Amino acid sequence: MKLINTFATELPWACEPVAPQPLHEPSLLHLNHSLLNELGLGDVSETDWLACCGLGQPLPGMQPVAQVYAGHQFGGYSPRLGDGRALLLGELRAPDGQGWDLHLKGAGKTPFSRFGDGRAVLRSSIREYLASEALHALGIPTTRALVLVGSKEPVYREQEETGATVLRTAPSHLRFGHIEYFAWSGQGEKIPLLIDYLLRHHFPELDSGAELFAEVVRRTARLIAKWQAAGFCHGVMNTDNMSLLGLTLDYGPYGFIDAYVPDFVCNHSDPGGRYALDQQPAVGYWNLQKLAQALADHVDGDALAAALAQYEQQLMLHYSELMRAKLGLSVWEEEDPALFRELFQLLASQRVDYHLFLRRLGELTQQGEWPASLLALLPDPAHWQQWLALYRARLVREGSEDAARKRQMDAINPKYVLRNALAQQAIDAAEVGDMTPFERLFAALQHPYDEQPEYEDLATPVPQWYCGGELSCSS
């Protein structure tokens, strides 16, 4: 393992050294072996991972630090947030030369804990572990999960739970909030140093802060387009949860939609729906505006405005590409927006399962009966006859070939989705010591587009006992 620790050594004024605190009676619950091998960490023993992530004993060469940052939370500015319950243990150079953060969530109190205990609970740790790997398998940029550790340590949230840690990784955990902190705390002279660090370590193909901001805009637009197409609601799109590298960061009360609900809210701390599914594109733009304001004294204003002006076009272009692919359409037609709009109206009015509908739509052929599996999803199939006829005519006009189109649609419409009901089943079992449901769900989500008959029970519609639902920020 080749450690580099550039953040701790080059940006010491942006972090505080902190030793991780051991958990009471920790136990190793899961290792992501394929990712560990990819990063050159396959030889680290289970004993060493337990010591590192549960006993407060970092691996040799690690330099644990808590990063300082600020952020706009639900529209209001919080001037000093930082890693309140997480530590950047160290950075490594993978065999392919890529640098990776090793970031431990739930490691105990830091100078930024804000009267909190600095802990994570098993429930939230399982949710982050599963979600980050699920999004990665769907092709959505995200942090990744390496190690999951549980314990018998009591931690108090809405009720008493047990403490846990997740070791996660990403090329960087730098956020919009890092720039904001130094912009609004009277330390603006540090911002050029942050820009230089980003350019050298993460954007070597770029030459300036203006180019950097334009790339952040592009990556953010494409990320949110992918969220929208996947029916994924982040839940807490505060600027401190927005990655400068365009990654999905900080999984809390996220949720994949079940039935198509465009204004789905997954966070019970968001009664006004600020971070509802259909608000995510606008919030992304708002957050980028705040980042531009923080950069305004260091990057040309016209360049910032020009980059922001590209956001909507880039998001809509990528979203349109994704949705055409999800519908099995190869070319663009002027009628496409109307076709999409009517589809979403039907899905919403009849609360049809978004993922199953798109997956089973691939079974439709250009002639013959409508697929029985598709019709079974529709509460009132008669309302769908006109749209299905228009869609079928669109396929004929395009010269679509049924078998090839189904293969294409199966490769972009997942059969296996991390529904909250499935995550909750894994959590309930894990909390009584049974990791089998977690292991099965984790395995199925690694290959979300494949049939996997052994996991067929994980691909069925959401159980009646749980549908959607809002979660707390402690999730």
250 is in an annotated binding site: yes
Both tokens of 105, joined, read 């969530």
Question: Which H or E run contains 153?
Answer: strand 144-156
Burial 131-153 (b: 16+ CB within 10 A, else e): bbbbbbbbebbbbbbbbbbbbeb
Torsional sign, CA 463, 465, 470, 471: negative
Torsional sign, CA 232, 433, 146, 60: positive
**Which DSSP letter does residue 12 get?**
G
Say whether 83 is catalytic: no
Is 4 in a helix, a strand, or coil? coil
168 is in an annotated binding site: yes
394 is in an annotated binding site: no
Phi, psi (deg, nearest 5) at residue 384: -95, -10
380 is in an annotated binding site: no
105 is in an annotated binding site: yes
Annotated catalytic residue within 83, 101, 240, 353: 240
93 is in an annotated binding site: no
469 is in an annotated binding site: no
DSSP string covering 355-420, please?
HHHHHHHTT--SSSSPPHHHHTT-S-GGGGHHHHHHHHHHHHHHT--HHHHHHHHHTTS-S----H
C-beta of residue 442 within 8 angstroms of C-beta of residue 388: no
341 is in an annotated binding site: no
Please tell me the distance from the alpha carbon of residue 255 to that of residue 265, in angstroms, as a whole number.
8
Four-point Cα dihedral 185, 191, 193, 196, nearest 10? 160
Both tokens of 18, joined, read 């902190």
C-beta of residue 21 within 8 angstroms of C-beta of residue 86: no
Q: How many CB atoms lie within 10 A of CB 23?
A: 26
297 is in an annotated binding site: no
Residue 120: CB partners within 8 Å, gap ≥ 6? 85, 105, 106, 155, 163, 164, 165, 166
Both tokens of 473, joined, read 């920020």
231 is in an annotated binding site: no
Q: How far is CA 201 from each of CA 80, 93, 198, 215, 249, rounded to the nearest angstrom?
A: 25, 12, 5, 15, 19
* Residues annotated within a binding site: 82, 84-85, 105, 117-118, 168, 175, 241, 250
Residues annotated as catalytic (active site), given as ranges: 240
* Residues annotated within a binding site for ATP: 82, 84-85, 105, 117-118, 168, 175, 250
* Residues annotated within a binding site for Mg(2+): 241, 250
